Amino acid sequence: MNQACSRGLFFLLVIILAGFFCQFLLRFILVYRFEEKGLAAVYFGFLYALFIKYEEIENIRVIPLRDSLWRGGFMTVRAGNRLTGPVLAFSRNKGFMREFFLTPDDAVIFAEELKKRVEKAIMTSR
């Protein structure tokens, strides 16, 4: 086996291992949590990557992964912890970054729970 072939195989192995890491292990590093006042994305259980108050969240929907790659734009926050599966998309009604894409384990159930919490927060703030 020549050197170019072995480098190609090494590169392929690195790509496969990185994909495995992103799909199966990153969800233990980046965790989404429902907190009392808002939704949080937390690294290692203590380092906040994202926190959005429930009152600021609107337009909650579940979209296919392929659509999330083309939607949004430069100002979209993509806090994903998986490579496959549906994506939870929502907007924020104020602030600089307004569009968010998350990849919880079950996006449909997560979206339903988020909708309930957003409705409850809006009702109690009136």
Strands 57-63 and 76-79, by their bridges, are: unpaired
pTM flag (> 0.85): no
* DSSP assignments along 14-44, one per residue: HHHHHHHIIIIIHHHHEEEEE-SSEEEEEET
Domains and their CATH numbers in the chain: 3-125 (2.30.29.30)
CA 24 to chain centre: 14
Query: How many beta carbons lie within 10 A of that of residue 83, not counting itself?
Result: 15
Least confident of 15-19, 39-43, 102-106: 15-19
Is the pLDDT at 8 greater than 60? The verdict is: yes
Q: What is the pLDDT of residue 6?
A: 80
Query: Tens of pLDDT along 73-125?
Result: 667 777 776 767 889 999 999 888 888 989 898 999 999 999 999 999 999 87
